[in-house]
Amino acid sequence: MANMRYTKDHEWIRLDGDTGTVGISDYAQSQLGDVVYVELPAIGKKIGKGEEAAVVESVKAASEVYAPVAGEVIAVNTELEGTPGAVNADAEGAGWFLKLKVANAAELDELMDDDGYKSFLETLA
């Protein structure tokens, strides 16, 4: 998706106005394997760029999900509490984790666009 940005830790953010929806990339979910649990932050929590925003546990490992940009949590995907496998099924869509009110939109410029992320993934192979 053209309006998505990615981190080197495989988080993505999709901006809609000053709201950023955050999740993990399809690559990240494929590396994790079957997701069995997701721990989401409290609404109203302020998170700095690069700080832990959520935790995702799979059959292989537990991993932190870091905030791609700073902001305040304004929504969480409560569907993941009952169906964490949605992360595997649609990591870059219905499997989103949280929504942030973005504190500094300029931080988005430091993230990779779709083409940049695809090039980055090729360096990992």
Q: What is the pLDDT of residue 1?
A: 45
Residue type, 54: A
**H-helix or E-strand spanning residue 81:** helix 79-82
Q: What is the pLDDT of residue 51?
A: 98
* Domain containing residue 25: CATH number: 2.40.50.100
Total domains in the chain come to 1
Q: What is the pTM of this model?
A: 0.95
Q: Kindly give the parts of the chain with pLDDT less than 50.
A: 1
Give the three-state DSSP class for 73: strand
Sorted by sequence, the CB contacts under 8 Å of residue 46 that are 6+ apart come out as 70, 71, 72, 73
Structural tokens at position 111: 């993230």
Q: How, if at all, do strands 52-58 and 62-66 pair?
A: antiparallel
Other beta carbons less than 10 A from residue 80's beta carbon:
24
Sorted by sequence, the CB contacts under 8 Å of residue 113 that are 6+ apart come out as 2, 4, 5, 6
Nearest-CA neighbor of 69 among 120, 14, 31, 26?
14
Query: What domain range is 35 assigned to?
Result: 4-122
Q: Which stretches of 1-125 are assigned E, i.e. beta strand? A: 4-6, 11-16, 19-24, 35-39, 46-47, 52-58, 62-66, 71-76, 98-102
Q: What is the pLDDT of residue 124?
A: 92
Backbone angles phi, psi at 109, to 5 degrees: -65, -20
